[in-house]
Amino acid sequence: MSVTAAAGFRAAGVAAGLKSTGALDVALIVNDGPRSDAAGVFTSNRAKANPVLWSEQALAGGSARAVILNSGGANCFTGAFGFQTTHQTAERVAERLGIGAIEVQVCSTGLIGVGDETFRQGVLAGVEGCADALAHDSADDAAALRAAQAIMTTDSVPKQAIAHGADPATGDGYTVGGMAKGAGMLAPGLATMLVVLTTDAVADADVLDRALRAATRVTFDRLDSDGCMSTNDTVLLLASGASGATADEAGLTAAVTQVCDDLAQQLQLDAEGASHDITIEVRQAASEDEAVVVARSVARSNLFKAAIFGNDPNWGRVLAAIGTTDAAFDPYAVDVSFNGVRLCHAGEPDRPREEVDLAPRATHIVIDLFAGDATASIRTNDLTHDYVHENSAYAS
């Protein structure tokens, strides 16, 4: 139960031949209204894929009635032909749904440079298949699941989440649901990550936009699996208003954040080749921004990440990483704990490393800077043989 959990939404997922395995590869989400307010957050990479270039423009008016998504090709660096493919895809969806092309968001994921005539025909066939499928049981959990499966690339499982909110004036409830894909290249500014969130709350586009940005800032933006940033990242939030419940901004932000946090954790747990799910928590930082910078420096240290793979509580690599930042703290006055065992205190060895058990997947690093009262955490993964294998063999 995810993108169809909120009233007013239908979904479809079909196999259009874009994946050589014959798996589902094109998904369509439709907002039947009565309202069509929408917001989006897109990759901050300057190299933006054609669907991102389209969708950012199309969403400028704060409205969207459908999202078409495909795996099996990123349609990035595919030139004017690739942009025409995106445009034609939106036009085809619009024709089938009887709406304007400008109300169609387009998302693609897969290899950069893939976007030839075969790809175009595959996506267009997928549009037809999805539009046909909408006639049958398209508002149920099974349809939502098919959509979530159709956007998977190296993901091993589909990712879905749901949360609830209520109109503070009337007590009437509303739902926020979402689906996500992404199993590598996770980094700030999003990641090879596609996320579609739906809600039946009544909310203006500017409220949706602020709620979505507040939510992604503390969830997806703090998931940094391998430091790489994708050209196709897109997070969309569509509101149908079908519940009749008006969302206040704080309540909507909380519900959207809950769904994003759930999905971000699912993305972390399914990161390519990972054997540890690592939370790096920085405490007593001078500011939240500095806490994020310090945590991220550790999350990006290949030496630290390889050590965790080897169940090695190598606190020296943590200190070497944080020493590269400009954050306010005394490098010789910090504490570092691994899974509750303080290995470094005031810049010197503390408890014996043998006390740390790194066998469980869940790994919790706490870095105490003694420089203020701000806290933040970054989620990351270890650097494993399987990561190298998956990412050296992906294109072949």
Q: Which segment (63-71, 120-128, 227-235, 373-381) binds a copy of itself by CB under 8 A?
A: 227-235
By CB atoms closer than 10 A (0-12, 13-18, 19+), residue 136 is exposed
Beta strands in 78-147 (DSSP E): 104-108
Q: Write out the two tokens for 378.
A: 């970054």
The torsion region of residue 304 among left (phi > 0), alpha (psi -120 to 50) and beta comes to: alpha
250 is a site residue for a copy of itself (CB under 8 A): no
Shortest distance, position 79 Cβ to a copy of itself, whole Å: 4
CB 179 within 8 A of CB 144: yes
Four-residue CA torsion sign, 142, 137, 130, 180: negative
Q: Which stretch binds a copy of itself (CB under 8 A): 84-92, 97-105, 182-190, 236-244?
A: 182-190
Q: Which of residues 310-339 bind a copy of itself (CB under 8 A)?
A: 310, 312, 314-317, 319-325, 331-332
When asked if residue 306 is in the footprint of a copy of itself (CB under 8 A), the reply is: yes
Q: How many residues bind a copy of itself (CB under 8 A)?
A: 61
86 catalytic? Reply is no
First to last CA, the chain: 34
Minimum distance from residue 323 beta carbon to a copy of itself (Å): 3
CA pseudo-torsion sign 46, 182, 10, 94: positive
Instruction: Kindly indicate which of the ranges 31-39, 107-115, 174-182, 373-381 contains the residues binding a copy of itself, using the contact rule CB under 8 A.
Output: 107-115
Under rule CB under 8 A, residue 203 binds a copy of itself: no
User: Is 7 or 53 the residue whose CB approaches a copy of itself more closely?
Assistant: 53
The least distance separating a copy of itself from the CB of residue 389, rounded to whole angstroms, comes to 7
Closer by beta carbon to a copy of itself, 169 or else 354: 354
Whole-angstrom distance, CA of residue 287 vs CA of residue 375: 8
- Phi, psi (rounded to 5 degrees) for 53: -60, -40
CA dist 318 and 368 (Å) reads: 12
Out of 300, 342, 351, 364, name the contact with a copy of itself by CB under 8 A. 300
Among 95, 250, 333, 394, binds a copy of itself (CB under 8 A): 394
- Which residues neighbour 359 within 8 Å (Cβ) at sequence distance 6 or greater? 311
**Quick one: which segment of 3-11, 71-79, 85-93, 236-244 binds a copy of itself (CB under 8 A)?**
71-79
Determine the Cα–Cα distance for residues 3 and 259; give it in Å rounded to an integer.
11
Residues 109-148 contacting a copy of itself, CB under 8 A: 111-113
11 in Cβ contact with 4 (< 8 Å): yes
Which of 89, 175, 192, 380 is catalytic? The answer is 192
Angle at 52 between CA 48 and CA 58, to 5 degrees: 140
| String of contacts with a copy of itself for each residue 253-292, x by CB under 8 A | ----------------------------------------
Catalytic center residues: 192
In the complex, the residues that contact a copy of itself under the rule CB under 8 A are: 44-48, 74, 76-79, 111-113, 184-185, 189, 226-231, 300-303, 306-307, 309-310, 312, 314-317, 319-325, 331-332, 344, 346-349, 383-385, 387-389, 391-396
